[in-house]
A and B are shown apart, each in its own frame.
Chain A
Amino acid sequence: MLVVRDLRKTYGTTIALAGVDVDAAPGEVVALLGPNGAGKTTLVSIIAGLRRADSGSVTVGDVDALAHPQRARELLGLAPQDLGIYPIVSVVQNLRLFGEIAGLRRRELDQRITDVAAALSLDGLLGRLAGTLSGGEKRRLHTAIALLHRPRLLLLDEATTGADVATRGDLLGVVRRLADDGAAVVYSTHYMEEVASLRARVTILDHGTVIAKGPLDQLLAAHASAFVEMVFDGPVPAVLLGDGVTVEGSTVRLPTADPGHSAAAALATIGADASRLRALEIVEPNLESVYVTLTGRRYSENAPEDADVMAS
């Protein structure tokens, strides 16, 4: 349904996409992960025809989306990263406008509005002015607009930002059901635990490059080991350095198959430096450790502050 090949885009001197390949088949959710500035929004915007690529190809269905963005748009639904709703008309009028633009009429439109409102708990709010909704309710309306017409390719750019647990559950459920009904979904997020509940295939972007790609379990098997992370006040003791060990400032990460023993062993070797130890954490294999293994950096330091990112 979506095939992206060697997509490149620069803004002035900033390289936003440095040759990206992404695929999404019908029925599949592709989770697009990557720290701030990785290029997720740029990628999604180019697929939706909102920005021009420098080179590469984007195919949506059997449409060359770079050559015929209009035809591609008829197949897709986009919920941009930034909220986009009409605050001074009602919730139902917001939905109605985009439903009509997508070609839905009368009974079918009413039915779809009822369905999407029920799925995203908007049913009690249809008559409200959109501007009077709470932040999470606005977010649900924002996403509802993108999937109302059941597009064959759904692009969601950080759809769960600012959503509480219940809203997030609603959103993930709806997305997964659309995929089960045959839609291809590209879902950008900073929340790693969403990947598992969406049963998504993962694509990790970093500085405009895909650094890892595949089903969650394969990525974990290939790239993730557990590691012991220690933070010191001052420099990392030299005795800890060794093969595969990464150091970032005062933080050291020791990859290991047996984190408990490695932690104990590390503590035993640092001697007097133990007084400078400020934190010790055992990080089980998860997407975060995939990211650390591939980049030598932690993910969460780049992520939004309010997020319990990449905890899985």
Chain B
Amino acid sequence: MSWRVSAAIIRHEFRIMLKDPSTILFILFMPLVMTALMKPLYQSALSARGVSGATGAEQAVPGMAVAFAAFGVGFSGFAFFREHGWGTWERLRASAATSADIMTGKLVPAFSLTLIQMAALLALGVPLFGFAVAGSVLGLAAVVVAVTLALTAFGMTVTAISRTSQQLNALGSLGSMLFGIIGGAFVPVAFMPAWARAIAPATPTYWAMRGFRSVTLDAGGLGSVALPVVVLLGMAALFGAIAAMKFRFEETRIYFG
């Protein structure tokens, strides 16, 4: 593996992303609109539950950020499918780039995009929606990095098991919708029916939201996010392992639609 080769592929991947910024705009602007809409609802819900001093931003800002981040990674697999559609996958494979170079070249941009998106939404949440981090900012950052890793690895798993771009679309959308809904990004877990609350911890979103709550409403320190961060890293490792097992460089993926 060579950092220069990976760097060339990374630059190229970013260039392609920017050529069609519609996805980026979607995962940045939709959550802002949603946050503005949902914030009052969350505020009354939280105060009805006796959480004093809540503005609703504690749920709305990170909730929408992580829900749409999950959306984004569901689609990061298109970075692979595009290459098949363009006939360039075989070219990359026949080039001097190693498998590791190609993987790095694809995953670093996907990871960075999600990281930038979450960071931007949380940062914008401060002036726009009064989002406040009463606890550890470092803890918040740790949760963001950990959930981004878990979601990127999830995106890779979905890519690895999809043969066609339609399967990727279906599985990616399904996964990220479930993560958003069951994981408490839209409806706070405390308000969900018991059965949903029971399965929520199976999603990375749940642990991210738990971590976010620790450093906002609960004003926790860095230590308060240890459990969520460890679980998220565990999920990243699990998804990463499945992806590594299932992904075949020589597989012909079919891109259409």
User: Which A residues form the contact surface with B (CB < 8 A)?
Assistant: 45, 48-52, 70, 73-74, 76, 78, 80, 82-89, 93, 97-98, 100-103, 145
Flag if A88 contacts B94 (CB, 8 Å): no
Which of A45, A52, A73, A145 is B96 in contact with, Cβ under 8 Å?
Answer: A73
**B24 interfacial contact with A, CB 8 Å:** no
A residues within 8 A CB of B101?
A: 101
Flag if A78 contacts B94 (CB, 8 Å): yes
Interchain CA distance A76-B90 in the complex, whole Å: 14
Which of A45, A73, A83, A85 is B95 in contact with, Cβ under 8 Å?
Answer: A73
Q: With A88-B16, A88-B19 in contact, do A50 and B90 touch (Cβ < 8 Å)? A: yes
The 6 closest A-B pairs by CB, nearest first: A84-B87, A100-B8, A78-B94, A84-B91, A48-B94, A74-B96
Flag if A85 contacts B88 (CB, 8 Å): yes
Q: With A50-B250, A145-B91 in contact, do A101 and B15 touch (Cβ < 8 Å)? A: no
A residues within 8 A CB of B95?
A: 73, 98, 101-102
18 residue pairs of the A-B complex, CB under 8 angstroms, read A48-B94, A49-B94, A50-B250, A74-B96, A80-B91, A84-B87, A84-B88, A84-B90, A86-B86, A88-B19, A89-B12, A93-B15, A97-B12, A98-B91, A98-B95, A101-B9, A101-B95, A103-B96
CB proximity of B103 to chain A, nearest CB, Å? 14
B residues within 8 A CB of A50?
A: 90, 93-94, 250
**B4 interfacial contact with A, CB 8 Å:** yes
Interchain CA distance A208-B88 in the complex, whole Å: 26
Q: Which residue of chain B has the shortest Cβ distance to A89 in the bound complex?
A: B15
Flag if B86 contacts A101 (CB, 8 Å): no
Interchain CA distance A73-B97 in the complex, whole Å: 9
Interchain CA distance A74-B15 in the complex, whole Å: 25
Flag if B88 contacts A49 (CB, 8 Å): no
A residues within 8 A CB of B94?
A: 48-50, 73, 76, 78, 80
Q: With A98-B91, A101-B95, A145-B91 in contact, do A89 and B86 touch (Cβ < 8 Å)? A: no
Q: Which residue of chain B has the shortest Cβ distance to A155 in the bound complex?
A: B94
Interchain CA distance A83-B83 in the complex, whole Å: 12
**B5 interfacial contact with A, CB 8 Å:** yes
CB proximity of B11 to chain A, nearest CB, Å? 8
By CB atoms of chain B within 10 A, which of A70, A88, A97 has the most?
A97
B residues within 8 A CB of A74?
A: 96
A residues within 8 A CB of B12?
A: 86, 89, 93, 97
Q: With A88-B16, A89-B16 in contact, do A100 and B88 touch (Cβ < 8 Å)? A: no
Interchain CA distance A45-B95 in the complex, whole Å: 12
Interchain CA distance A76-B93 in the complex, whole Å: 12
A residues within 8 A CB of B250?
A: 50-52
Flag if A85 contacts B19 (CB, 8 Å): no
Interchain CA distance A16-B5 in the complex, whole Å: 34
Q: With A70-B98, A101-B8, A101-B96 in contact, do A80 and B19 touch (Cβ < 8 Å)? A: no
By CB atoms of chain A within 10 A, which of B5, B8, B95, B97 has the most?
B95
A residues within 8 A CB of B5?
A: 100-101, 103
CB proximity of B15 to chain A, nearest CB, Å? 6
CB proximity of B174 to chain A, nearest CB, Å? 28
Flag if A82 contacts B8 (CB, 8 Å): no
A residues within 8 A CB of B91?
A: 78, 80, 84, 98, 145
A residues within 8 A CB of B88?
A: 84-86
Q: Which residue of chain A has the shortest Cβ distance to B15 in the bound complex?
A: A89
Which of A45, A85, A88, A103 is B87 in contact with, Cβ under 8 Å?
Answer: A85
Report B74-102 residues with CB < 8 Å from chain A CB. Answer: 86-98, 101
Which of A49, A51, A76, A85 is B86 in contact with, Cβ under 8 Å?
Answer: A85
By CB atoms of chain A within 10 A, which of B4, B88, B250 has the most?
B88
Flag if B8 contacts A84 (CB, 8 Å): no
Q: Which residue of chain A has the shortest Cβ distance to B12 in the bound complex?
A: A97
CB proximity of A260 to chain B, nearest CB, Å? 49
Flag if B86 contacts A87 (CB, 8 Å): yes
B residues within 8 A CB of A84?
A: 86-91
CB proximity of B183 to chain A, nearest CB, Å? 34
B residues within 8 A CB of A45?
A: 90
B residues within 8 A CB of A93?
A: 12, 15
Q: Which residue of chain A has the shortest Cβ distance to B19 in the bound complex?
A: A88
Given A50-B250, A73-B96, A78-B94, 9 new contacts (CB under 8 A)? A73-B95, A76-B94, A80-B90, A85-B87, A93-B12, A97-B8, A100-B4, A101-B5, A102-B95
Interchain CA distance A48-B9 in the complex, whole Å: 20
Flag if B87 contacts A101 (CB, 8 Å): no
CB proximity of B143 to chain A, nearest CB, Å? 35
Q: Which residue of chain B has the shortest Cβ distance to A105 in the bound complex?
A: B4
A residues within 8 A CB of B89?
A: 84
B residues within 8 A CB of A70?
A: 98
B residues within 8 A CB of A80?
A: 87, 90-91, 94
Interchain CA distance A52-B249 in the complex, whole Å: 12
Q: Which residue of chain B has the shortest Cβ distance to A87 in the bound complex?
A: B86
Q: Which residue of chain A has the shortest Cβ distance to B95 in the bound complex?
A: A101
B residues within 8 A CB of A100?
A: 4-5, 8
The digit string for B89-127, where 1 denotes a CB below 8 A from any CB of A, is 111111111100100000000000000000000000000
